[in-house]
Amino acid sequence: MYPREFQHMTLHREGKSLLIIALIIVLGINSVVAYFFPEQVYVREGVVIITALFYLIILQFFRVPTRVTEINPQHIIAPADGKVVVIEETVENEYFKGARRQVSIFMSPLNVHINFNPVSGIVSYFKYHPGKFLVAWHPKSSTENERTTFVVKHENGTEVLFRQIAGALAKRICWYAKEGDTVQQGTEFGFIKFGSRIDIFLPLDAEICVNIGDKPVGGETVIAKLA
């Protein structure tokens, strides 16, 4: 049985132009190999297999999964698929300028890279930061890499900050909400191409529901509960 995101798979709009270019490159490589090595069957078949695998990796990266979000105003939903790599109390200096609970999720190139709103509310702050492309698990990636910062104000007045962070391979961050927009928990707010990370900053009294090493499902897994 295939994972559900591969059943009736659709492709994300951010990947369509790249997939066309990749397909042209794959077909071009195979045509050149077939022309110069007409008698080398094993060479041609080997190149076909390698280029097909390469294309399938890119194809699966841009898949759009079916996710069902259980709307709950007390829940903070995972904003992305991936692996929990940070759970700690820290100081958030850009917006809150104070202590917060941080949860970070690292997305490998094999994960779905759609980003889901972790909470419903109004976008009270947004900023795009150009920057470096350090590996996404590097401690300084949160403050030095290309990134965006969203703050959503919950209906009870609580604000939740989440940050898209580009990794060493990610060269483009996409976002679909702006300051003043009303967003709904579980809907798509952005996309990061290839390996990357999302940091979520929560009130100190938030109950964290995941552990280091957990692999949450974006748009579904409850990673924290508001007090």
Alpha helical stretches, state H, the chain? 16-36, 41-61, 141-144
Tokens 């967003």 sit on residue: 183
- Report residue 82 as tokens: 């991936």
**What is the sign of the dihedral through the CA atoms of 59, 220, 127 and 161?**
negative
- Report residue 107 as tokens: 């997305």
CA distance 10 to 18: 15
3-state secondary structure of 184: coil
Identify the active-site residue in 104, 120, 141, 196.
196
Q: Which residues contact 46 (CB under 8 A, 6 or more apart)?
A: none
Packing angle of the helix pair 41-61, 16-36 (nearest 10 deg) = 180
Torsion of CA 11, 17, 18, 21, to 10 degrees: 130
124 as an active site residue: the answer is no
**What is the sign of the dihedral through the CA atoms of 98, 87, 220 and 4?**
positive
Residue 188, CA atoms < 13 Å, CB-side half-sphere: 16
Please identify every residue annotated as catalytic.
Answer: 196
